[in-house]
Amino acid sequence: MIPFNKPPYTGNEERHVLDSMCSDKISGDGKYTQLCHLWFEKKLGCAKSLLTPNCTQALEMAAILIDIQPGDEVIMPSYTFVSTANAFVLRGAKIVFVDVRPDTMNMNETLIEQAITNKTKAIVPVHYAGVACEMDTIMDIANHHGLYVIEDAAQGMMSTYKDKPLGTIGHIGVYSFHETKNYTSGGEGGLLIINDEVFVKRAEIIREKGTNRTQFFRGMVDKYSWVDLGSSYLPSDIQAAYLYGQLEKADKINVNRLASWKSYNKKLNMLADRKKVELPSIPKNCVHNGHMFYLKVIDIDTRTKLIEHLKLNDIMAVFHYIPLHSSVAGGDFGRLSGKDLYTTEESEKLIRLPMYFGLDTNEIDYIVDKINDFFLTS
């Protein structure tokens, strides 16, 4: 079976993990955590980066930092993972879902303004498949209405919008290091990216259970105590050590994934020309990271049959999100602004093909051949 995903592994991880295990500090904010923070702050040019146990908790921290209160509204696409919504619902917010653009599956920026009310607190663009939302428009809307922008760039590490790394354009951004992402910190992991200096001090306190412990270790206070709301948002240093091994090879991983993406795109182009499938669209002002290769077929019935055909040929392909607004909890905690013109229809056409660091060109050829076989016989 050609799997849908294999967690990335470069060979550097084991050395760093063993080094961390043998050190005197394997809890959070040890040697490798600091090395990762320095790497990201240099790479992204952000005010502060903070590793978290997962991306969900980075989003939860963001919701606390912008002081989400019961009754506040947060605008986001319905086509996203549940964590994007849950982080704000946990603080009492109502989610306002906006339809997607069919070309990128990102939130339609032209529909955001009509979703704004006097209760709106933030906009959460989700960069689907590591392809940027139209951030200039989103930031202009946010600035005009005095709203926060939290970038859900879970899939977007190494992607850019007009030469700016995803996650660094809004007030706050987040990355995911789950094993299905381009980079992992041992299966789970996340990053909080702070772009507005005003959030830095409080973010460190929230992350350390609401204490000023970080300031104490820097010698800024003579003792630490409970000073604010918070929780335990630190990953172990062993997790950070695993991630650091991948950061050392970040460019190599990125180049490899992009090569696989381009290979799929080229080899499936004939089917696209024949209108059998639709291939991903990359806007000119975006550089993506090869996180995902998907194609769209004519309808959900064709998708189901193609997935089964691939499975019978030992290829694991999957569909993606069920739109949140159509779920049970989505109705309880949110509402759809405007019409669902594309979110449901386009999501039911989408199939994700195997994509991972080290995917063999022969495997891609085999996958493409089996897709071609399906359309020749269907």
Phi, psi of 44 (to 5 degrees): -95, -25
- Phi then psi dihedrals of residue 95, to 5 deg: -90, 135
Q: Which of 48, 94, 181, 349 is catalytic?
A: 181
CA dist 359 and 81 (Å) reads 25
Residues 6+ apart with CB under 8 A from 192: 49, 50, 51, 52, 58, 61, 62, 172, 173, 174, 203, 207
- Rounded to whole angstroms, how far apart are CA atoms 347 and 85? 18
Q: Which amino acid is at 214?
A: T
* 19, 167 contact by CB (below 8 A): no
Burial 150-182 (b: 16+ CB within 10 A, else e): bbbbbbbbbbbbeeebbbbbbbbbbbbbbbbbb
Q: Which residues contact 170 (CB under 8 A, 6 or more apart)?
A: 125, 135, 138, 139, 142, 148, 149, 150, 151, 195
DSSP assignment, residue 128? G
Q: For the sheet containing 48-52, what is the strand order?
A: 48-52, 190-194, 172-176, 148-152, 120-123, 73-77, 94-98, 334-336
Q: Which two tokens stand for residue 131?
A: 């392809």
Query: In whole angstroms, what is the distance from residue 354 CA to residue 357 CA?
Result: 10
C-alpha to C-alpha distance for 6 and 8, rounded to whole angstroms:
6
Pairwise CA distance, residues 187 & 73, whole Å:
32
DSSP β-bridge partners for residue 173: 151, 193
As beta bridge partners, residue 205 has none
**Tokens 């290829």 label which residue?**
315
Exposed/middle/buried for residue 85 (C-beta within 10 Å: 0-12, 13-18, 19+): buried
- Known catalytic membership, residue 43: no
Q: Which residues participate in catalysis according to the annotation?
A: 181
